Amino acid sequence: MRIETAREQMIEQQVRAWEVLDERILSTLRLIPRERFVPERWRELAFADTEIPLPHGKRMLRPMLVGRILQALAVQPGEQVLEIGAGSGYVSACLAQLGGRVHSLELHEELVALARSNLSAATPALAVDVIKGDGMQLPEEGRYDAIVLTASLPIYQTRFERALRDGGRLFVVSGAQLPQQASLVRRLGARDWSTEVLFETAIETLEHAPRPPQFGF
């Protein structure tokens, strides 16, 4: 009962309070056991408004940011979803709970194993495939209905928007300076995209992502 109370407080005081009002999203956050995706050492912080450490210096995103990502992407049953950065597997599980067929690329073998283990133990029936791979090597072809980057791009990369199908959505945080800018990019046609700025935030940088040149005097 204490866990369920803490989960509901997370949803009401953090997620809903940050304008996540879609009941599909709130229900998903109730159904996916976040605490099972948190390393045991940090489990008491599972529902706290904080980033949680993971191996290789990575961090789980704050609950309210996860809520905003899910609401922006509005994944529908049967859609092909690409996640860049599996982390603990929690966002992957939420995307799959919404009906997405999730392909998650993770650079570090240890995190691949962690995400797979967490997903198998907590949500074995969900359609999630965690693959070791570098998100910056993404093929430039229209094949996904939704793409989410769980780490930021110092310089925006058009390869991700080109990987969308027509009507597809991309959630991305970009910017070399703080605060960074979270945006939703939609593919409108073969050579046409729209960008909606959602909010300001700050998250870790995607490994291997290009960075602005350093100027010296």
Cis ω before 179 (30° cut-off from 0):
yes
Pairing of strands 59-60, 52-53: antiparallel
State the alpha helices, DSSP H only, in the chain.
2-9, 23-31, 63-73, 90-97, 109-122, 158-162
1-24: pLDDT as tens digits = 699 999 999 999 999 999 999 999
Find the DSSP H helices in 10-108.
23-31, 63-73, 90-97
The mean of the pLDDT values for the chain is 95
CB of 172 within 8 A of CB of 156? yes
- Predicted confidence (pLDDT) per residue in 52-71, tens digit: 999 999 999 999 999 999 99
Residue-wise pLDDT for 178-209, tens only, equals: 999 999 999 999 999 999 999 999 999 999 89
**What are the residue boundaries of the structural domains of the chain, listed by start?**
2-201
Structure tokens at 150: 């769980």
pTM of the model: 0.95
CATH number belonging to domain 2-201: 3.40.50.150
Percentage of residues in the chain with pLDDT exceeding 70?
97
